[in-house]
Structure 1
């Protein structure tokens, strides 16, 4: 060891620590693979396992990296039976519960979200025509201005500010417009805040009118619907 040697210690990071606990709970990593020396007692709300095939995931990642279209056997909510269809994926998307492929659908001419667990087979591939830059909802970013519900007490508002790391009663969450539907739903902001008790709603979207006025019909990404796979 030379005189210039300087040890590098792991910097404390609460988010990484808690992420490790969640990965352990979900069975993603084993206890012996975790860098946490002594595990505390912990529990996580269960999340249903999503049946994503490793073979399908590999084919999708390969298509994205090579800028290829891929033919997949897909079960849509709008069809009684799965069908073969071409898609041109350019990104993987996690909505908080499940993984999707963000892809251009040549059949409809639109960019859609294809749930990976609903793809049971893949076969042919070919060069893709569409590019990620053509996906305007993917390229556009919107900022969600989140604040405590105004009808909460001062103490309750303070608690919410701590929960969301707010400064001066506000936090800004950047999100791709293609992910807006998922973000609002996960934050409980996809319905009228007046429909729930302030203690249940907890937060409000200050720039709701601005966000929704910029939303074109069919532009907010969602897993199923007339404009989506």
Structure 2
């Protein structure tokens, strides 16, 4: 059933999504769940449950013995947000301390853990300055510590976006020193001093606004059974999966997936996937096999 969301206020829609989330992942939901999560009265929570039933009468039934609503055998999502990625993202956010336990929509959490990610020293004042410059289309003068110079240097940049490479956060910006668009690691910005009008437009950053499609498949030296397992891992269809990425983030994506080097330099069980359109991708990043990219696609160092 399609819901006309224009008829729902944001708060009401969120509560209906919560009801559906609990039904799908935990199999049940009751009035007190809605009351505690959103601070509602008994009447308000009952109204929300009845409203959800009107939208999806087959999705839940009332179990008198358990005194709770349970997921119906004909359950079908009506809000379209029930994906594994969202559930797992909550677990990851809890593990990283980005989400408080009270804010999580799941009560009966499984035991979980994750590999630790090194804490990156991004100061909130730095992030505030960069985000503010993006909003106001301004240039900022930053004291930046690169690896190629022993001492930090002041330079002007005009940031227009924030990017994450899987481990570190960057400011995508026009560098007035190098007269080109580059990535600047937020953790290496030591100080922000002045602001000025930006002399360039974000629209001029072709690498940021262009997309490249990576076509990946199982390593050819894997056995047929192993290849099928890898295809399942990556959601491949007909032995391949397509991954769209901004050209500005292509360098990082290849490194993270282990596709920036010769695929036969490692055991197939370790490499697992290969680029099926490597020749096309090398047109965007020369010397992919040596993990070297153009200046606009690697962090300023």
With structure 2 as the length reference, what TM-score do the two structures score? 0.71
1:138-165 alpha-carbon deviations (Å, 9 max, x no partner)? 1221110011111111111111111111
The structure that is helix-richer by fraction is 2
Structure 2 residue runs of 5 or longer lacking an equivalent are 1-46, 56-77, 287-292
Shift of 1:16: 0.8
Q: Which SS does the other structure have where 2:193 is aligned?
A: strand
RMSD: 1.9
Of 188, 191, 194, the residue aligned with 1:118 is: 188
Please say which structure displays the higher CA radius of gyration: 2
Q: Which moved more, 1:47-56 or 1:7-16?
A: 7-16
1:161 lines up with 2:231 in the alignment: yes
Q: Which SS does the other structure have where 2:255 is aligned?
A: helix
Correspondence for 2:89: 19
Correspondence for 1:65: 135
Shift of 1:85: 1.1
Q: Do 1:180 and 1:220's aligned partners in 2 also have CA atoms closer than 8 Å?
A: no
Q: Which SS does the other structure have where 2:264 is aligned?
A: helix
1:37 lines up with 2:107 in the alignment: yes
Structure 1 residue runs of 5 or longer lacking an equivalent are none
State the distance in 1 between where 2:295 and 2:119 align: 29
1:193-212 alpha-carbon deviations (Å, 9 max, x no partner)? 01011111100001101110
Q: Do 2:182 and 2:295's aligned partners in 1 also have CA atoms closer than 8 Å?
A: no
Q: Which moved more, 1:205-214 or 1:98-107?
A: 205-214
Q: Do 1:75 and 1:83's aligned partners in 2 also have CA atoms closer than 8 Å?
A: yes
Shift of 1:171: 0.7
1:98-121 alpha-carbon deviations (Å, 9 max, x no partner)? 100000001110111100011121
1:130 lines up with 2:215 in the alignment: no
Aligned residue pairs, count: 224
Of 185, 198, 218, the residue aligned with 1:148 is: 218
Shift of 1:12: 2.7
Correspondence for 2:263: 193
Correspondence for 1:94: 164
State the distance in 2 between where 1:150 and 1:209 align: 17
Correspondence for 2:145: 75
State the distance in 1 between where 2:108 and 2:297 align: 41
State the distance in 1 between where 2:214 and 2:118 align: 28
Q: Which SS does the other structure have where 1:102 is aligned?
A: strand
State the distance in 2 between where 1:38 and 1:6 align: 22
Q: Do 1:181 and 1:220's aligned partners in 2 also have CA atoms closer than 8 Å?
A: no
State the distance in 2 between where 1:81 and 1:21 align: 40
Shift of 1:214: 3.4
Shift of 1:219: 5.0
State the distance in 2 between where 1:219 and 1:57 align: 23
